Structure 1
């Protein structure tokens, strides 16, 4: 166990250094520090977050009813739209997403039973259009293992949040229309296509997984649940505009 803790701590050190210097970690640099399982990858995330600032929310990926995966979103990297941010350490990508804000804690039920989808929905204060901003600290080739990606906040750099809509349930569905423009180019123009179908679906898995891990969702935290149309490069000086049906359009500018 002490060896696993030491390996997780060393990997956290490497990821923090990569963030600070903008370098990409190669397999040679990582060596035998690849997390052996999801719990270890999550421990690395928490070790990084403990040094870089509090967690303000999460990204979650879940396909169907299979076990999902989460990535931490640092509170200091959550911006209100329209946002304009300068960053030149390494390239960024943008994704158009629907995200949610918690209205109350979900610490786990006293009897140990799992939260239902209705339980979790009742704890949501509202939904909003969002940009997830991506930055990998890992070399693209050879493709890193999913567990390494999970240890690296699942590639999260930050989140841009739009105005919260309280009556969200009728607006969040599998056929929502989404358009994303980056630098005046149309990157996404589609109806539906979310990896989970219904963008709210992964919330239940995440709430139960975090409660079981002793790090439950808290009131005020935000959760973004996956992209419509994938991630797209944004260059310094460019502006991204996302229009998601049922929500106000949002803008993010990467300042030159």
Structure 2
């Protein structure tokens, strides 16, 4: 497959790229190269993502936000990117018990500490601009969790944000931990750290996320308005990597500690092909 940095020309090619990604995901098969011409704009990348969503045999229950690296921000005109979260990939952590999550062997896999909003109200259609206060009014609860980032393409992050967007935003699910009591008054002070195989690999918190988790939600509301995909009550919104993106491979275990809230134990296991 080509890795040339030329944009695809039509919806048929977008659908073909999407089908190669979704096929690899369903078959738990790594991709050696980007499966087509690399998209050069976020608009082109989201067209591939939309095609992949239509092909995927599951329903969307939320979205992840990712930071666009500084060198790309001016070029793309955006600071964050979004990807869907599907129902069968959402796991619930049990206190003191390690949760297994699947990874693409030969692909990309990482764990990210996340602050996750669960919405209590639908996003009204037709509203283009959102303030942080207006975004906060849609939130029901705040949950701490882990995003298992993942893609069949090992070089997904190296190839840039448009490639990340085109493959579901490099998302492979969510692991939900406990709710945060009194989150509206505590949000700015929440901190966390991530461990892999007993070694601390990152520390951060809500303030690590540019302008905070609520600004991630604000940006997502604007993205979803442009895409005519309004958020719904009950949606889970993973607001960004609070301690960084930490590579992991099958067989390794991670512990993510949210100070004053709880911790999540998880272990990467080889992903298996889906049968239906």
Give the TM-score category using the shorter length. Answer: 0.7 to 0.9
The answer to whether residue 157 in structure 2 is matched with residue 138 in structure 1 is no
Residue 54 of structure 1, CA deviation:
1.0
Listed as ranges, the gaps of 5+ residues in structure 2 are 1-7, 271-276
Once the two structures are superposed, residues 108-143 of structure 1 have per-residue CA deviations (whole angstroms, 9 ceiling, x without a partner) of: 35xx45232211101101111111101133242893
2:125/2:225 contact within 8 Å kept:
yes
1:225 aligns with 2:239: yes
Measure, in 2, the Cα distance between the counterparts of 1:141 and 1:116. 32
Alignment partner, residue 49 of structure 2: 45
TM-score of the superposed pair, with normalisation by structure 2:
0.79
User: Within 5 Å, which residues of 2 pair with 1:5-24?
Assistant: 5-19=11-25, 20-24=27-31
In structure 2, C-alpha distance between the alignment counterparts of 1:207 and 1:141, rounded to whole Å: 25
TM-score between the two structures when normalised by the length of structure 1? 0.85
Q: Give the Cα separation in 1 of the matches to 2:244 and 2:83.
A: 16
Counting only pairs closer than 5 Å after superposition, residues 1-256 of structure 1 correspond to structure 2 as 3-19=9-25, 20-27=27-34, 29-30=35-36, 32=37, 34-52=38-56, 53-62=58-67, 66-82=78-94, 84-85=99-100, 87=102, 89-90=104-105, 92-109=109-126, 112=127, 114-140=129-155, 143-165=158-180, 167-173=182-188, 175-190=189-204, 194-255=208-269
SS at match of 1:105: coil
Query: Helix, strand or coil: the match of 2:13?
Result: helix
| CA RMSD after TM alignment | 2.8
CA distance in 1, matches of 2:87, 2:157: 31
Following TM superposition, by how much is the alpha carbon of 1:74 offset from its aligned partner in structure 2, in angstroms? 1.4
Deviation of 1:3 after TM superposition, in Å, equals 4.8
Shift of 1:197: 4.0
Q: Using the alignment, how far apart are the partners of 1:61 and 1:104 within structure 2?
A: 23
SS of equivalent to 1:163:
strand
What is the CA-CA distance between 1:190 and the residue it aligns to? 4.3
- CA distance in 1 between partners of 2:157 and 2:195 (Å): 30
2:169 aligns to what SS in structure 1? helix
> Which residue does the alignment assign to 2:273?
none
* 1:88 Cα offset (Å): 5.5
Residues 69-107 of structure 1: CA deviation (Å, up to 9, x unaligned): 111111211111136225364252111111111111103
Structure 1: stretches of 5+ with no match in the other structure: none
| More displaced stretch, 38-47 vs 185-194 | 185-194
